[in-house]
């Protein structure tokens, strides 16, 4: 999974050795593999371990919002 030729670096903040593509999250205080961002909605970092679940969460949220909008829309114009 890791390129053996690329050396591991040392994190300047927590001073632990970290593999390539790992970055330090200042909010969590840890180094995260394939760090994408820190999401305030799930209060967690999005990285290698949970990226698939984060995309799934976004899809479910979009579907729920669409279905809620469609369910509310007919009653919006019903004056009877």
Dihedrals φ, ψ of 20, to 5°?
A: -60, 150
Q: Is residue 45 annotated as a catalytic residue, yes or no? A: no
Look up residue 16 and give its two tokens: 């632990």
Look up residue 65 and give its two tokens: 């919002």
User: Is residue 72 classed as helix, strand or coil in its secondary structure?
Assistant: helix
**Distance, CA of 72 to CA of 43 (rounded, Å):** 30
Given 11, 25, 28, 39, which residue is catalytic?
A: 39
Q: Which residues are catalytic?
A: 39
């Amino acid at each position: 999974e890791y390129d053996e030729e690329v050396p591991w670096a040392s994190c300047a903040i927590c001073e632990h050795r970290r593999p390539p593509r790992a970055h330090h999250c200042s909010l969590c205080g840890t180094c995260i593999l394939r760090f994408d961002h820190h999401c305030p909605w799930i209060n967690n970092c999005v990285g290698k371990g949970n990226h698939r679940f984060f995309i799934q969460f976004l899809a479910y949220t979009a579907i729920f919002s669409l279905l809620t909008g469609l369910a509310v829309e007919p009653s919006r114009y019903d004056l009877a």
